[in-house]
Structure 1
């Protein structure tokens, strides 16, 4: 009788261990798959924005992109310019302090919003000059989707070339089904050229993992 009980206990123990190993392996596989999907979505968003971004007029506006992804979902990206303080004259309507907001919503993972404040001091009235500005107070916020959380965030604005080019860089630390998945970003705000687009500016995002 004791031998039968011992054999049954051993069988139950082996089955339990095998089930736990299988469950752990299955969970790891799901987590790895989620991270791989996020990395692929980021890659496709970068490619799309590189192909579709263009110089922008300095005025209050929101430019929206619906980005089709290879997994059948759609990412949404919005670039918004909002003026906080304006020049005293209508002639200098572009001169003043602006918020540049880049919002990206990724299906199944959540949204990331990068903001940089830009003080536009000079906009040339004819070709030959450069738009001049300073950028500062870079920040990032994130809203996780279901089964995701945000662990931490970081953003810093840096001078690339004084008066004409600034980058806000940082990251969002997502936890996807408990697995860390940091999304890094660079929001670039710079002059375009001093000929055809002398009075415009460019702002684009690049993401990485």
Structure 2
């Protein structure tokens, strides 16, 4: 990544035109070819930018630009639209290059995979007498998050979401319709488990005989004891 703090002006030409007058800004040139122009405000959002696929060229300023004080001219052209971002640099205050390597990406805490793992480890969250059969039980239309046995020995299909909405109920309904055709599994009951379930989703699930369960992420991780709460 190349970081340049410079007094510059910026012009964008393409489907629309935009101009940033002369000011001190941070220019961020990334390894993927993208260029972002930041001010000392506006949070994470750049004032202007060019996203890949694009090409970067540092070109010689025209004589009139040189006489106006331009030292460098950057031209970034988008490969598909031919839009251009032109940065006229008058003075560089700081410049540095950094090799950041491959980023592993953002790992969110409490996503569905974590909830699935925790519920499989603490299947008794569904009630006494439940036992785990397996995670990611494969069907012809995709994997059910958890297949369990209820206290009566019957099959229980569990769909896990971070936020339970109507589409998740529809997804579990399709699984249940298919699984209940299998004489080795039928009858199969459904459980819709989430940290939060929207009212409309709960109404639809209960109308279809699907049980709704709210998952307490901290309690399942042992970071909170619901029994010791005052309220």
Note whether the superposition's TM-score is higher than 0.5: no
Q: Which has the higher helix share?
A: 1
TM-score, normalised with respect to structure 1? 0.21
Higher relative contact order (CA 8 A, sep 6+): 1
TM-score, normalised with respect to structure 2? 0.20
Q: Which has the higher strand share?
A: 1
